[in-house]
Amino acid sequence: MISFGVEPALAAELAWIREFVATEIEPLDLAFGDEEVVYDKSHPVHGRHLRPLQDRVRERGLWSCHLTPEFGGQGYGQVQLALMNEILGRSAFAPTVFGCQAPDSGNAEILAHYGTPGQRERYLTPLLDGRISSCYAMTEPQGGADPALFTTRAVRDGDHWVIDGEKWFSSSFEKAAFTIVMAVTNPDVSVYQGTSMFLVPAGTPGLEVIRRTGLGYDAAGTGNHPYVRYDGVTVPAENLLGAEGQAFVIAQTRLGGGRLHHAMRTVGAVARCLDMLCERALSRTTQGELLARKQLTQQKIADAWIELTQFRLQVLHAAWCVDTYGAKAARREIAAVKVATPKVYHDAVVRTMHAHGALGISNEMPLARMLLGSIALGIADGPTEVHQATLAREVLKEHRPSSGSWPSEHVPDRRDAARARYADLLEG
């Protein structure tokens, strides 16, 4: 039986989270919500304000809910995480306060599964405690979404690996205590069998920021996504995470759930757009009546609610599939969510932005940043087109070509077959 109810205990926690985010965390977004501050754990706001909030979350038993109790989490399933993350998606600082900030959450899973005991003590424990940030370096300037074009190499030299190459859009690199780097270790085989993953501590000789890169609204020479060169960066052999050639297998450890978590938080952002749209419709008067009384505005509100509800149910269904069948079996549902996320978010933002007129495109509303964020979601963790192709392949597995010259729904052939079946009645 399908149930859309939420267990009372979880419902109580979600109500607490909703109030806590609105009253304690969202004000921090307005005062300190720059992306670099979110990841800069040395900034005074972390020690003075965020860590006390994190302690309250721990006391409530809601810290790092995506992790198992072995690593200090709650072992929540994906459906529980979806309901939680749609609330956290309304705030830039909320994931940090709840111990589930990307890329730290995914990197923590990698260290938990593949790190040595010493690496877990040095990096995983403070990462889980929210005392350090991390970086994940995969993209290269010439490679884009095609890993076959990656040129960053790692070569074994005795008891060490030496890494040479360049990585692009290394988010939070300058604030990170360590970076997890993907590099080709065997160029003679497929990139999917010849790429490995390495833990590179901050400050390792040979790391060089070529230039700081930001998003469209950041000033030139600033930003949280630098272009980084690896020039003879040498790390101990034990800093190879997992086995040689396993990088893409390991990457799936973090990406499947991470892609869903992005979508879960996007549900919250889309709901925020609906809130802004409805408030504007009920507050703004034009041509003698409220916008809410205009049919075109009513159409926008109706479309906004329908698209939000459809998207939310799609995300919850994908989460349920992961909980029930596992991430590998839910590959189709995850890909579909990844395709839907940027489009639904983009349409919600543009609709809300238009209702606010000049104010909507100004820097006095959050919508312009949200618009760029919606576009970024169509690029992060692989472009939309890659996931469309994955989804199409998965769907096609369930279908077969027609057995004859005409489609299976060809009416004349079906009619002839039906008439032959009921010939005794038709002839009578």
Residue 151, number of CB atoms within 10 A of its CB: 14
Residue closest to 101 by CA, chosen among 165, 176, 160, 49: 176
Tokens of 114: 């593949």
Question: Residue 253: which pLDDT band, with cuts at 50, 70 and 90?
Answer: low
pLDDT tens for each residue of 282-327: 999 999 999 999 999 999 999 999 999 999 999 999 999 999 999 8
Is it the case that residue 246 has pLDDT exceeding 90? yes
% of the chain at pLDDT higher than 70:
98
Query: What pLDDT score does 273 carry?
Result: 98
Residue carrying structure tokens 């006390």? 52
Model confidence over 5-18: pLDDT tens digits? 899 999 999 999 99
Segment 250-272 shows an average pLDDT of 83
Return d(Cα 313, Cα 331) in angstroms, integer: 17
Residue 180: predicted pLDDT: 98
End-to-end CA distance of the chain: 46
What are the E-state strand segments in 6-139? 133-137
Helices and strands counted in the chain (H then E): 19, 10
Strand, helix or coil for residue 351 = helix
The H-or-E segment that residue 81 falls in is helix 78-88
What is the rounded (10 degree) CA torsion for 215, 217, 222, 228? 10
Among 302, 301, 299, 297, CA closest to 285 = 297
Sorted by where each starts, the structural domains of the chain and their CATH numbers stand as 8-115 (1.10.540.10), 134-241 (2.40.110.10), 249-396 (1.20.140.10)
Which bin fits 357, alpha (ψ -120 to 50), beta or left (φ > 0)? left
For 99-134, write each residue's pLDDT tens digit: 998 899 889 989 988 999 999 999 999 998 889 999
Average pLDDT over the chain reads: 93
Q: Residue 264 carries which side chain, given as an amino acid letter?
A: M
| Pairing label, strands 240-241, 195-201 | antiparallel
Check residue 34 and give its pLDDT. Answer: 77
Summarize pLDDT for 326-338 with one digit per residue, the tens. 988 999 999 999 9
Q: Are 55 and 64 in contact (CB under 8 A)?
A: no
Say yes or no to pLDDT of 1 above 60: no
pLDDT of residue 205: 98
pLDDT in tens, 24-75: 999 999 999 777 898 899 999 999 999 999 999 999 999 999 888 888 888 9
